[in-house]
Amino acid sequence: MSACYPLLMGKRMFLFLLTNLAVVLTLSIILSILGVGRYIGPGGLDIGSLAIFCLVWGMGGAFISLQMSRWMAKQATGAKVIDGNTGTPELDRVYQTIASLTQQAGLPMPEVAVYDSPEVNAFATGPSRNRALVAVSTGLLRTMRDDEIAGVLGHEITHISNGDMVTMTLLQGVINAFVMFFARLIAFAIANRGDSRNSRGGGSFFVVIALQIVLGMLGSLITAWFSRQREFRADRGGALLAGRDRMIAALRRLAANRELVDTQHQALATLKINDKSSWMVFFSTHPPLEARIAALERM
């Protein structure tokens, strides 16, 4: 392991904590301006204030993260942006392939980056079609042929074309808001059962946390299901852009290297073309590669 690795990980952890602190501070200021930081008053629970409070935290956090997604992804993986004139043939071919596929899809050119990792993987992120990032691992470049790489890149370009990052953020934000709202509502009801409406008890902090965990797990079933459907759609789009045989070949190559998936950055797991399937299939963000290949073969 390089002597610089602990310093690099320390820097990334510091930036992660700093980013989250900035998000919390921003949302706290917004809530203070709206005057809904306190949703329990002398008259009991103020449903309107609670709804706004949860909406700001649920949706606000998700959309701030989306706006910062390119920067955070590059910081998390150490990805380096390339411009197609690196002088390294394999990197320049990746850039030119993405340029060709985005033109074919009628999209603006995204940022293109490469990150150093043995995993055979790639991902796309960004707040919009005009501000997207496509990144590939060095492991993918070493393992895949050019036609297979084209299939992977077609898949990622389709994610951008479909607006999957924005849709996923919207869905996650709504679920976050509902989880926060109902966890506090149920906790309040438990804490004040049998009391008059004037009770000011908001429920135990630990009860709220426990309810958020349970409701959050139920909500994750919805986001996982949607994520699996968008992977099927991106595979079909990749087949249309790069060719069905190339897309199938790419998925078969991923299946042959399914153990080479980096699990250090779970926040990026749903963005990648390949992820280790969960033993609980309903919580898995990616369908089994065999099912994805079979779906393309039936196209």
Q: Residue 235's closest CA among 168, 170, 291, 167? A: 291
R_g of the chain, CA atoms, integer Å: 22
Active site residue 231: no
The full DSSP string for 197-211 is TT------HHHHHHH
Of 230, 251, 229, the residue nearest 296 (C-alpha): 251
Residue 165: closest CA among 261, 94, 69: 69
d(CA 65, CA 62): 5
Of the CA atoms within 13 Å of residue 189, those in its CB half-sphere come to 8
Annotated catalytic residue within 119, 148, 156, 231: 156
- What does DSSP say about strands 122-125 and 133-137: parallel, antiparallel, or unpaired? antiparallel
Catalytic residue IDs: 156
